[in-house]
Amino acid sequence: MLSKFAIDYVALPQHHSRRLTHHTDDPVAAEEFLMHLLASRARILEIRHEGEVLSPVQADRMLKVAAERIASGMLRESLHLDHAAVRDRFGLAA
């Protein structure tokens, strides 16, 4: 049985080109893994859902949500704000 989400990536693109794959059935876990990849500057090669490669629009939507969650967390910590203040001031949901 295929996992719902598969994310292909290169963990340390500046050192090697070994392609790794992360599998999960949970969409929230997939988003959190994308957040981890973005924060660690890994190279994201492909996102698949139920074996099919996501269209660029669908993949970009997932990446945008992950990036906004990272930015929201950074703003909350750096400016000592709560979720509502970050949403009101910057338009970012957590």
Q: To 5 degrees, how large is the angle CA 49–CA 54–CA 69?
A: 85
What global pTM score does this model have?
A: 0.87
Are 25 and 4 a contacting pair, CB within 8 Å?
yes
- What's the structural domain count of the chain? 1
Q: Print the domain residue range for 25.
A: 5-90
pLDDT tens for 27-86 read: 999 999 999 999 999 999 999 999 999 999 999 999 999 999 999 999 999 999 999 999
